[in-house]
């Protein structure tokens, strides 16, 4: 899907030749003196367009306008939630007609956040997964012209949103692929493909390399699978060598059976999504390749499968992590924290400004926050503030969670330095407390996206990856460019 930003007001929007003109109307809209305004005014006055947010009026071949079809979209107070609902409803209405060229027009000037929400919602609502379907219905919308009263005023947020959409859709593509089409080797090749872009480099470490580094926790998870592990290292170098990087660590479990502590069969197919954290890191680097900002970013993806076999790690085994800390594995289904802890230790070598890990880590976070907000954990005040700001500006929402030391009590064990689980109560917090042990040498944060990285469901189109939290991550890393400037 291609986006184009135009200066359009209501007088000029009426001359737009397109399959569908989507006109977003806030409740404060006042009609002007032109054919489109006159038509909208009559629709509002007659009640044909209700004043309820997400109400639609579909007009075929409107007289005096150049578009094939005009869809008026009521936004009410034009808050981001109403923009999202309105655009979703409009795309659902027009999608069966398979339009190719759409003009999305704001009747009144939006701010950058409103523009971002409208564009990302349109992309999400029109997205189609096709990779492993023999007769897939491809996305029909190929070109979207975005009309605003002042193009120059919104050029920067427009460019950032286009990059975010590219990154989100790359993340969705890889997270949606079945596990046999998205192995660690496949992810490594996807990262290497990104390295063809300017300023991006990629290195892939194999078993021999991680063994030499002493990544015992990562190797323990991988040893039950015949698929070779991959430790993927991406570098985006947009600033000087002396500028410390921001490091993003994405959990890359390409299929999680639970290992010896095997999961129930119901919905186990969804465990192909256990690499949504890794996919989001790939998505951010896709966006960085588009934007070319003046920052340094490193992406680390420890990737493997978690399967039961005669070689698999067992409950009660004690392993040694890269940090030297020993870990008693009480539950092999708590594997994400094991691959992440070695990556967090590896991140120390970069002397980073900050390290943020992203993982579909715990079912407990789904229970706590559902699919609306990701859980965010950090003991660093500056990082908490920066993530909160990025969450709000991107509308890729998260929620601050506690990290009290008392939550770590359950991780104590007589047989190792730490256990990998601490029981059911506060499960997302105890998982974060485990990771915190390995991230003491830099500002660190953890995003648990178990509830937000994908949508469950049985109906066609209801299940799939969301591409979150690419939007949040992109806004976060770009904030370092702004602060450096």
Indicate if 263 belongs to the active site: yes
Strand pairing report for 398-400 and 374-378? parallel
How far apart are the C-alpha atoms of 153 and 480, rounded to whole Å?
22
Asked whether 277 and 340 are in contact (CB, 8 A), the reply is no
DSSP state of 440: T
Q: How far is CA 351 from CA 294, 295, 348, 443, 445, in A?
A: 18, 15, 6, 10, 15
Indicate if 151 belongs to the active site: no
DSSP E strands, 38-129:
56-60, 69-76, 101-106
**Active-site residue identified among 145, 172, 337, 433:** 337
What is the four-CA torsion angle of 363, 367, 373, 374, rounded to 10 degrees? -30
Return the closest-CA partner of residue 284 out of 250, 244, 325, 253.
Answer: 250
Return the closest-CA partner of residue 123 out of 283, 288, 358.
Answer: 283
Count of other CB atoms within 10 angstroms of residue 85: 18
DSSP E strands, 123-251:
143-148, 200-205, 230-237, 246-250
Q: Which structure tokens are listed for 330?
A: 């009480």
**Active-site residue identified among 79, 139, 199, 263:** 263
Q: How far is CA 383 from CA 83, 400, 422, in A?
A: 29, 11, 26
Cis, peptide link before residue 469, omega less than 30° from 0: yes
HSE-up of residue 465 (Cα within 13 Å, Cβ side): 31
Count of other CB atoms within 10 angstroms of residue 455: 15
Asked whether 308 and 224 are in contact (CB, 8 A), the reply is yes
Catalytic residue annotation: 263, 337
């Amino acid at each position: 899907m291609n986006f184009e930003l135009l200066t359009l007001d209501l007088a000029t929007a009426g001359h737009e030749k397109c399959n569908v003109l989507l006109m977003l109307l806030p409740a404060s809209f006042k009609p002007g003196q032109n054919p489109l305004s006159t038509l909208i005014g009559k629709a509002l006055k007659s009640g044909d367009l209700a004043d309820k947010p997400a109400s639609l009026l579909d007009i075929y071949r409107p007289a005096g306008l150049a578009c094939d079809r005009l869809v008026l979209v009521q936004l009410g107070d034009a808050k981001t939630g109403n923009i999202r609902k309105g655009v979703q409803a409009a795309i659902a209405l027009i999608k069966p007609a398979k339009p190719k060229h759409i003009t999305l027009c704001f009747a009144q000037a939006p701010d950058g956040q409103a523009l971002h929400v409208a564009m990302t919602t349109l992309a999400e609502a029109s997205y189609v997964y096709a990779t492993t379907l023999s007769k897939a219905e491809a996305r029909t919308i190929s070109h979207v012209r975005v009309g605003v009263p002042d193009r120059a005023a919104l050029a920067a947020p427009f460019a950032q949103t286009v990059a975010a959409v590219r990154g989100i859709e790359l993340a969705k593509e890889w997270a949606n692929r079945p596990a046999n089409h998205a192995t660690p080797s496949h992810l490594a090749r996807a990262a290497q493909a990104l390295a063809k872009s300017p300023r991006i480099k990629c290195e892939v470490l194999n078993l021999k390399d991680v063994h030499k580094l002493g990544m015992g926790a990562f190797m323990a998870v991988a040893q039950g699978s015949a698929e070779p592990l991959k430790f993927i290292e991406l570098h985006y170098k947009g600033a000087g060598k002396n500028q410390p990087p921001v490091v993003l660590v994405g959990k890359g479990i390409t299929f999680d059976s639970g290992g010896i502590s095997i999961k129930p069969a119901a919905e186990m197919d969804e465990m192909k999504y256990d690499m949504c954290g890794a996919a989001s890191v790939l998505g951010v680097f896709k966006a960085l390749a588009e934007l070319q900002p003046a920052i340094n970013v490193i992406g680390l993806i420890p990737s493997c499968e978690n399967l039961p076999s005669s070689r698999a790690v067992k409950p009660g085994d004690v392993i040694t992590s890269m940090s030297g800390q020993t870990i008693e594995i009480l539950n092999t289904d708590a594997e994400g924290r094991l691959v992440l802890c070695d990556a967090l230790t590896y991140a120390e070598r970069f002397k980073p400004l900050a390290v943020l890990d992203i993982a579909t880590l715990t079912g407990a976070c789904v229970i706590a926050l559902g699919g609306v907000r990701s859980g965010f954990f950090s003991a660093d005040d500056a990082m908490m503030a920066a993530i909160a700001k990025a969450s709000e500006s991107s509308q890729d929402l998260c929620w601050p969670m506690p990290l009290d030391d008392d939550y770590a009590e359950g991780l104590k064990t007589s047989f190792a330095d730490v256990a990998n689980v601490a029981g059911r109560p506060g499960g997302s917090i105890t998982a974060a407390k485990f990771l915190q042990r390995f991230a003491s040498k830099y500002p660190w944060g953890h995003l648990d996206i178990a509830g937000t990285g994908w949508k469950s469901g049985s109906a066609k189109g209801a299940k799939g990856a969301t591409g979150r939290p690419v939007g949040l991550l992109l806004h976060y890393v770009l904030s370092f460019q702004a602060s450096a400037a």
